[in-house]
Structure 1
């Protein structure tokens, strides 16, 4: 017979090992930061699961998904024409928390409220409604602010993979949110900036329009819509990335199925002047990647794996992904971070 002391030691050992295993699983989980406005936060479905909650279930225990959504927020910066922007996501504590979360993946769902800058007035219940944000932000500023938002996350120590979402259908005249402004103004800003910076694009506007998925306000997902939204985001996060093969001085992007558009990048910068085919002839060594439109029916794009071109010989060199520098998995930043993503020295200053 084994004594009680032996049994206690075995029990403690099992519990300790289980705890170590749980911590190890958490330490290696892929952090997903869901950045966004009320669509992400889950406005109107307070007692139900929000889209990041469903995304967590779909991705499983290898991922940790956190909801950093804040209602009414814009991607426009802290200052707009005429003064402070009290609706700026840049000013929120959730933005600072998202930066400090050491994300491996960032999904940026912002822009619906920025459409208000382009809505002057409309007829609501027989009366004209004027939008309080109309014309308070220059379009050029929106381009620069969205680019800065991408850069702020991209320059974190974890070098996260970024998914920019084209904003879903929204139409509520009383709030100054008009789908015409989203289609003609906001989504082109998001797409053009995402293509320039070489980040993934999820076309929520095409993929999330089913009326049964919305609350009565025609802006926010209902409980079932939140799940459908999560399915769309999950699909593109987990979809196989395009890869690149090298044959001498020719690079070819390879995708599962067809590609419906390509943009090429060298050392992280878009190559201008016709670099939009599935193959690219290169004249310089460097690190190359391609952004590929992966489906015909919508405007979603995925960034390929990187390939490091070390020589331009005539032989077939095959697929050679660039070596990715290992980044520490930081659960907490040991320094303060300002809203532009820069490290701030927190040590006391000498007098």
Structure 2
């Protein structure tokens, strides 16, 4: 550039006056463009995200502590603030929760976010948008003795995210209130010390601050344990962050989401875990079981329409197997393997399952197949090992249709002597409860993935 300016100032040395003016104009334009591009992050600070400027999904990382994670919220995968924010933003956005219980911003805190797997995961996610809400746990006495390092540590974290390839937009948040103190967490320190320091970081780095303190002040009823907001409190948090990211306000008050409809189809094993599942999903889903025992696959094909009824099911968790593989005589009565044949031979079992899945897929529900639990020695009408063989056939069908398998066989086999009755396919009440927990986990994942 100095050589070019020398020529421009000395037109007699090979550059005409007219050409000099053109080159000068071009140089000025390039300089302005360079300044504009170099400062675009600052110019965008605080402005809403231009969703249409992203050709693909906008990745949002919610970085924080147990309040971000959703501790204390019964169905946190649905009702934590990141989950509610994701629903508010819509399909164009992908919001992930990187909250860690007890985490501090302070590197010298008792549980630095810097040392948690979630921090590495959030960086690897390479988000387009980062929302940081840390500071609550920093107010504990053992942590706040390092308060002089808080602002510099916060600025370091902002810079770590800012240096990512995606060049993310970053928002930092004032912590929510505490009511007034518990576990060493102090509302006075949050309000009088942490919040001013967050503001200082925002001003220094030209990073916008989302105020989550004032919108939740005077609402102790939203903090059942004095520290963690409930689902409604998380809604208020999500609403404030949504406004910051989009520039749009959500004025609607919080309403409890409508419960999902879940159908469990199965035999007496599922009847055993049905009640625990229904209790564990209370408030999240209305859980029904097919009338009576679903028995074998042929019975399932015959009665499926009756079981489905007119309900719009969100999730259907189903199983057949124990009644297919059991042995019956020529009159259909239970008998031993030596005297009878399997009620539904394995080839027919596989065909029946294939037809059942085809019909179930037409409901539009998320489907989960529960494979058959183990058959022990001594049942008289079933043979040990047959469940595993039938499960292989079932898994072929589920793989063909892309249906996830709830592997209750593997879950049960490692603790069978503690949860299953002797010489019996049925489970003790505690065994049914443990099976119910596994079923609940699978159903919740299906509901979250809808």
- Give TM-score scaled by structure 2 length: 0.41
Measured in 1, the distance between the counterparts of 2:221 and 2:82 equals 16
1:60 corresponds to which residue? 90
Residue 236 to residue 213, structure 1, CA distance change in 2 (3 Å): farther
Structure-2 residue corresponding to 1:45: 73
Structure 1 ranges of 4+ moved more than 6 A: none
CA distance in 2, matches of 1:43, 1:67: 12
Measured in 2, the distance between the counterparts of 1:230 and 1:27 equals 24
Matched, 1:189 2:194: no
SS in 2 for 1:216: coil
Match of 1:177 in 2: 185
Q: Distance in 2 between matches of 1:63 and 1:74?
A: 27
User: What residue number does 1:165 align with?
Assistant: 173
> What are the equivalent positions in structure 2 for 1:87-236 lying under 5 Å apart?
87-117=111-141, 132-133=142-143, 135=145, 137=146, 139-211=147-219, 214-236=222-244
Deviation digits for residues 54-104 of structure 1 (CA, Å, limit 9, x no counterpart): 101000010000000001111001xx3xxxx44100000001000000100
- Which structure has the bigger radius of gyration? 2
- Could you tell me which runs of 5 or more consecutive residues in structure 1 were left unpaired when the two chains were aligned: 1-25, 118-131, 241-351
CA contact (8 A) 2:181 2:187 kept: no
> Secondary structure, in 3 states, of the residue corresponding to 2:71?
coil
Counterparts of 1:37 and 1:95, CA distance in 2: 11
**Structure 2 matches for 1:245-284, cutoff 5 A?**
none
Q: Which has the higher strand share?
A: 1
1:302 alignment partner in structure 2: none
The answer to whether structure 1 residue 29 and structure 2 residue 53 are counterparts is: no
What is the root-mean-square deviation in Å for CA atoms of aligned residues? 1.8
SS of 1:140 mapped into structure 2: helix
Q: Is the 8 A contact 2:104 2:110 kept in 1?
A: no
* CA distance in 2 between partners of 1:226 and 1:157 (Å): 30
Report which of the two has the higher share of helix. Answer: 2
Normalised to the residue count of structure 1, the TM-score between the two structures is 0.52
Q: Secondary structure of 1:34's match?
A: strand
Moved more, 140-149 or 53-62: 140-149
Rounded Cα–Cα distance in structure 2 between residues aligned with 1:88 and 1:171: 24
User: How much has 1:173 moved relative to structure 2?
Assistant: 3.1
1:212–1:225 CA contact under 8 A, matched in 2:
no
Instruction: Give the number of equivalent residue pairs.
Output: 193
Offset from partner CA, 1:137-173 (integer Å, 9 cap, x none): 1x33112101101100011111100010011111353
Aligned-partner SS, 1:102: coil
Alignment partner, residue 101 of structure 2: 71
The answer to whether the 8 Å contact 1:146/1:193 transfers is: yes
Deviation digits for residues 22-42 of structure 1 (CA, Å, limit 9, x no counterpart)? xxxx98100000000111000
- Post-superposition shift, 1:212? 5.5
- Rounded to whole Å, the distance in 2 between the matches of 1:134 and 1:62 is 40
